[in-house]
Amino acid sequence: MIIKDKIILITGGTGSIGKELVRQVLKLKPAQIRVFSRDESKQHDLLEELGHPKNLRLFIGDVRDKERLFFACKGVDVIFHAAALKHVPSCEYNPFEAVRTNILGSQNVIEAALDQGVEKVLLISTDKAVQPINLYGSTKLSAEKLFVAGNSYGVKKTLFSVVRYGNVFGSRGSIIETLQKNNGGKVKLTDPEMTRFWITLDQSFELVNFALENMEGGEIFIPKIPSMKVIDLFEAIAPGAEKEIIGIRPGEKLHEILLTEDESRHAIELEKYLVILPEFHYFATGLYQKYHQTGKKLPSRFKFSSDSNPQWLTPEQLREMLRNNH
């Protein structure tokens, strides 16, 4: 109901996450979807792929360009902010560019949304934003903070919230895509003990939809998703391939975290999700009462980490998920 007959803007709409958002949102019969991205070739490919839907509009633009964003946001009801530079080595080598896109670009989205009176704005974030050790993660943490704080300016007219999740099956440039292209050669493994969170594209949209329907402004929504050892992932996709252990790369963690101990003090556990409530109350007291009524507080010193996760994916389950995704 939130999307039907509404005008939706998706920044980074030609990336792997953005494209999936476009596909899923189209099913919900919006009045119009505006894809905002920099690459005209990818926009053309997306249009061809989707069969030229009449309610799809393509805006060439960069989130660094505030003027262009203001124009793109005119009449928009909902924004999904998925535009970001996301490759860790690239962000480390080009730090100014990562800051301009991921931090200043996010601020531009917030300002454009406020100026144009957009109803709801959702940031697509990542587990790399939690206790970051690389620049990419630091920029996404900053974007999260900007979005949560944006509610102090929205005065209930424009709401800002965040979804935060792990690695996505089917995303462009992922380790799964790399392994699937391997033709029986040697594969490079960073560390046999490394673990990661995994989520499907469908699950990621379920989370986005849940957040959009339930957000009061300022929440960070986290899915309760499974973990997998990277060595098991290699065995599932490239069984029998010779493995070369190369060690953890610069800016890389052995395990990822989706919720810290400190965050868990003001988080609520729901059936399928964890919701971090803002520490600074931008709106009236009691606004988030519904989460307390339908969920429960987390245990003391709870942490949602990929190595201590109670849910684990087996190689067989992973192969089944990949078959279902094709």
CA distance 14 to 169: 17
CA distance 254 to 288: 35
Query: Exposure of 240 by Cβ count < 10 A (0-12 exposed, 13-18 middle, 19+ buried)?
Result: exposed
Neighbours of 116 (CB within 10 A): 18
Q: Which amino acid is at 214?
A: N
Q: Which two tokens stand for residue 31?
A: 């009045």
**Options 128, 140, 229, 253, the catalytic residue:** 128
Integer angstrom CA distances of residue 21 from 101, 208, 282: 20, 9, 29
Q: What is the chain's length?
A: 326
- 6 catalytic? Reply is no
Q: Which two tokens stand for residue 239?
A: 């069984």
Given a contact cutoff of 8 angstroms between Cβ atoms, the answer to whether 305 and 255 are in contact is: yes
Residues belonging to the active site: 128
